[in-house]
Amino acid sequence: MFTLSAAITLAVLVAAIACFVGGWLAPEFVALSAAGLLIAGGVLSPGQALAGFGSPALITLMGMFVLAEGLLHSGALDRLRELLASPRIRTPQQLTALLVGVVAPLSGVIPNTPIVAILLPVLQSWCRRRGISPSRVLIPLSFATITGGTLTLIGTSSNLLASEVSAKLGYGEFQLFSFTAVGIPVWLLGGAYLLLASRWLPQRGHDLDTAFLDLSRQGYLTEVVLPEGSPLCERTLHASRLQRRFDVDVLAVHRGGQKLQPPLAELRLHQGDRLLLRCSRQELLRLQQDRMVTLAGTLLEELPASGIRHAEVLLPAGSQLTGTSLRELRFRQRFNATVLAVKRANTTLQDRLGQLVLREGDLLLLQAPLDAIRGLQQNSELVVLDELDSDLPSTHRKGLALVTMAAVLLLSGLQLIPLVAAVLLGVAVLVLGNCLDASTALRAIRWDVFLLLGGLFSLSAALQQSGLAQLAADALLGWLQGWPVLAALTAVYVITLLGTELLSNGATVVLLLPVVAKLAVGLGQPPLLFIYAVVFAASQSFLSPIGYQTNLMVYAPGNYRFLDFLRFGWPLSLLYAVVIPWLLLVLSPLLLGHANLPPAPLSP
Q: What is the pLDDT of residues 461-512, one digit of tens each?
A: 898 888 888 888 888 888 888 889 999 999 999 999 988 887 778 888 888 9
Q: Per-residue pLDDT for 601 more than 60?
A: no
Phi, psi (deg, nearest 5) at residue 570: -65, -35
Phi, psi (deg, nearest 5) at residue 78: -60, -35
Burial group, residue 587, by CB count within 10 angstroms (0-12, 13-18, 19+):
middle
Lowest mean pLDDT among 31-35, 89-93, 351-355: 351-355
Specify the pLDDT at position 298.
45
Mean pLDDT, residues 346-354: 60
Q: What is the pLDDT of residues 112-148, one digit of tens each?
A: 888 888 888 888 888 877 888 888 999 999 999 999 9
Q: What is the pLDDT of residues 237-287, one digit of tens each?
A: 777 766 666 767 777 788 877 777 666 777 888 888 888 777 766 676 677
C-alpha 61/C-alpha 196 separation (Å) is: 34
C-alpha 569/C-alpha 197 separation (Å) is: 10
Q: Taking the CA atoms of 66, 68, 72 and 74 in sequence, report the sign of the dihedral they define.
A: positive
Q: Where are the domains of the chain?
A: 4-204+418-594, 215-384
Specify the pLDDT at position 36.
94
**215-384 — its CATH code?**
3.30.70.1450
SS (H, E, C) 43-59: CCCHHHHHHHHHCHHHH
Specify the pLDDT at position 555.
85
Q: H helices of 250-361, where?
A: 281-289, 326-329, 331-335
Task: Look at the chain and count its residues.
Answer: 604
**Residue (of 292, 313, 330, 287) closest to 367 by Cα position:** 313
Specify the pLDDT at position 598.
37
Q: Is 513 left (phi over 0), alpha (psi -120 to 50) or beta?
A: alpha
Q: Per-residue pLDDT for 529 more than 90?
A: yes
Please, which residues have CB within 8 angstroms of residue 200's CB and are 6 or more apart in sequence? Answer: 568
Q: Are 27 and 18 in contact (CB under 8 A)?
A: no
Q: Per-residue pLDDT for 217 more than 70?
A: no
Q: Are 515 and 577 in contact (CB under 8 A)?
A: no
- pTM for the full predicted model: 0.74
Specify the pLDDT at position 350.
53
> DSSP assignment of 223-276, as one string?
EEE--TT-TTTTSBTTTSSHHHHS-EEEEEEEETTEEPPSP-TTPBP-TT-EEE
